[in-house]
């Protein structure tokens, strides 16, 4: 079983505190510019819980006409001034904008519910209030938000038919697949959320217990945690969302270490109404960040265009564009695709031949990086986590490499690992990494993902199928791709008993491979 990482949690809480204090101070900057147009109000949420909110109406609104309404729930741990710069822009474009601090955070009442039923009821109460107290049009209502606000917006659109359009930015559609993918706790992501909520909010007894069970790897509570997460996932209610017919735009970053891109792509494919999916380089909420300060930002520009078309009826062409929009981590331009399955239209397999045994409990040096910092560095400087592939200790890392590529390989989408593992213990964790390896053997991380098993028979082979986190990365000509597997990564809790070993094999009747998705050329 894994062990709670108390030092990591303490460090993360401190880092979150500093970040939020700095971000909150910066976030107040737009207030002075738009003070005359802003009303700060109290809204009674579900059960009478007070929600601190602000309202911006279009200039000159005198009650003689109605305007489309946009409701913006705040991000996890951020104050109600978070969206002021964008709210002012949207109001100047003819929207009534109501932003509110979700329950349990900052000055709003109640306790943190993690997008539970009270949060969704709160959003509907905010809509009720806006229709009664502003010149908002009840037939043209949209919701948008970053991170926590994105998740609440999607869930509300599934529950409240009045919501006609959504922009869910850096959010989640499947909470369990986000922070417990591969049956593995994403401990740095969990500690980040935990730390932020301790600093800026009031945790309910339920969420405190969920976090404690999460860190403790309490398998007796695993199904309870999964059920708790599914209740808070829009993927659970996709049929209702489709029936309601809201136009859904989703945007996320390739390196999002809190809500990885796979779960958004899977959810997007299940939507049947008007939809749009955008992926860019970066980490959690970093792609939208400059827009929160009123600076030019592609995500917020597309968000306004989305609402202009689906709430105002503006013929701006967004409905005729390729609905899946990607920006590679290696190049600056956007690519358009008709759907997600067209992103990696071609697949090439790298055979994982032979039999390799590795020991567990030691970090080989192949790592997914550090939450936020590594993907931001990749976003700004195209410098992902690196490892010297020839120097990785084969006692603790299994390594397979492709031949040198004579032409550039444009990796697009989701790489898939298929292999056979024979453990010496009933539980275990492995982490798979895909590297771009240059002529000197230096590997740049393309993608990774963890996988955990429990209740297996020692010495009995088991099949493993693992999707690595989706990405867009260009491997230069003359480079190779390498798949590396080890058992310890600071991003995740590992479940390898002391002294355990894992043997990877490739049976003739079921060969092992990693399937690489490539852009059609």
Question: What is the β-pairing status of strands 480-486 and 409-413?
Answer: unpaired
Cα 327 to Cα 336, 379, 471: the distances in Å are: 9, 11, 10
C-alpha 427/C-alpha 354 separation (Å) is 23
pLDDT score of 261? 96
Q: Is the pLDDT of residue 379 over 90?
A: no
Share of the chain above pLDDT 70, in %: 93
198: helix, strand or coil: helix
Q: What are phi and psi of 355, to 5 degrees?
A: -120, 125
Give per-residue pLDDT as tens, 205-242: 999 999 999 999 889 999 999 999 999 999 999 999 99
Give per-residue pLDDT as tens, 431-474: 999 999 999 999 999 999 999 999 999 999 999 999 999 999 99
Give per-residue pLDDT as tens, 254-276: 999 999 999 999 999 999 999 99
The pLDDT-based confidence of 520 (bands split at 50, 70, 90) is: confident
Residue range 18-37: average pLDDT? Answer: 37
Which residues are 398's β-sheet partners? 485
For residue 340, give both structure tokens. Answer: 């997600």
pLDDT score of 376? 82
For residue 89, give both structure tokens. Answer: 């822009």
Question: What is the β-pairing status of strands 247-253 and 275-280?
Answer: parallel
pLDDT score of 218? 87
pLDDT score of 19? 36
pTM exceeding the 0.85 threshold for the entire prediction: yes
Residue range 96-117: average pLDDT? Answer: 97
Q: What are phi and psi of 512, to 5 degrees?
A: -90, 145
pLDDT score of 18? 34
Q: What are phi and psi of 359, to 5 degrees?
A: -90, 155
The pLDDT-based confidence of 202 (bands split at 50, 70, 90) is: very high
- Name residue, tokens 């989701």: 414
Give per-residue pLDDT as tens, 154-172: 999 999 999 999 999 999 9
108: helix, strand or coil: coil
């Amino acid at each position: 079983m894994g062990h709670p990482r108390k030092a990591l949690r303490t460090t993360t809480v401190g880092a979150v505190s500093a970040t939020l204090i700095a971000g909150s101070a910066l976030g107040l900057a737009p207030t002075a510019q738009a003070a005359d147009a802003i009303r700060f109000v109290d809204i009674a949420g579900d059960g009478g819980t007070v929600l601190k909110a602000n309202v911006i109406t279009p200039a000159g609104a005198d009650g003689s006409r109605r305007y489309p309404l946009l409701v913006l729930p705040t991000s996890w741990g951020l104050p109600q001034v978070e969206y002021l710069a964008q709210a002012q822009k949207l109001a100047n474009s003819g929207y009534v904008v109501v932003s509110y601090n979700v329950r349990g955070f900052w000055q709003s009442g109640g306790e943190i519910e993690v997008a539970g039923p009270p949060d969704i009821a709160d959003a509907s109460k905010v809509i009720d209030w806006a229709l009664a107290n502003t010149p908002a049009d009840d037939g043209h209502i949209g919701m948008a938000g970053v991170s926590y606000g994105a998740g609440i917006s999607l869930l509300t659109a599934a529950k409240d038919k009045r919501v006609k359009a959504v922009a869910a930015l850096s959010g989640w559609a499947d909470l369990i697949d986000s922070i417990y993918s591969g049956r593995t706790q994403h401990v740095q992501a969990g500690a980040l959320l935990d730390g932020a909520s301790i600093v800026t909010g009031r945790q309910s007894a339920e969420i405190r217990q969920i976090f404690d069970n999460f860190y403790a790897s309490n398998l007796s509570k695993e199904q309870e945690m999964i059920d708790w997460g599914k209740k808070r996932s829009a993927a659970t209610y996709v049929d209702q969302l489709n029936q309601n017919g809201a136009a859904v735009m989703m945007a996320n970053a390739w390196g999002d270490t809190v809500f990885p891109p796979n779960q958004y792509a899977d959810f997007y494919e299940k939507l049947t109404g008007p939809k749009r999916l955008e992926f860019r380089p970066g980490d959690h909420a970093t792609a939208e960040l400059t827009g929160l300060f009123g600076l030019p930002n592609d995500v917020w520009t597309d968000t306004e265009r989305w609402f202009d078309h689906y709430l105002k009826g503006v013929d701006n062409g967004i409905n005729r564009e390729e609905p899946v929009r990607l920006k590679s981590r290696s190049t600056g331009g956007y690519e358009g695709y008709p759907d997600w399955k067209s992103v990696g239209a071609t697949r090439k397999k790298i055979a994982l031949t032979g039999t390799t045994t590795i020991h567990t409990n030691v970090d080989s040096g192949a790592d997914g990086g550090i939450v936020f910092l590594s993907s931001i560095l990749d976003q700004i400087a195209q410098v992902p986590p690196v490892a010297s592939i020839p120097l990785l200790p084969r006692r603790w890392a299994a390594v397979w490499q492709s031949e040198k590529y004579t032409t550039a390989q444009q990796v697009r989408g989701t790489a898939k690992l298929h292999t056979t593992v024979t453990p010496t213990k009933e539980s275990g964790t492995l982490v798979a990494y895909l590297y771009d390896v240059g002529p000197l053997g230096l590997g740049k991380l393309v993608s990774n993902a963890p996988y955990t098993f429990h209740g297996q028979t020692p010495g009995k082979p088991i099949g493993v199928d693992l999707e690595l986190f989706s990405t867009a990365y260009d491997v230069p000509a003359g480079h190779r791709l390498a798949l590396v597997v080890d058992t310890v990564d600071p991003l995740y809790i590992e479940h390898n008993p002391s002294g355990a070993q894992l043997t990877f094999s490739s049976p003739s009747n079921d060969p092992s491979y990693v399937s690489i998705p490539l852009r059609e050329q």
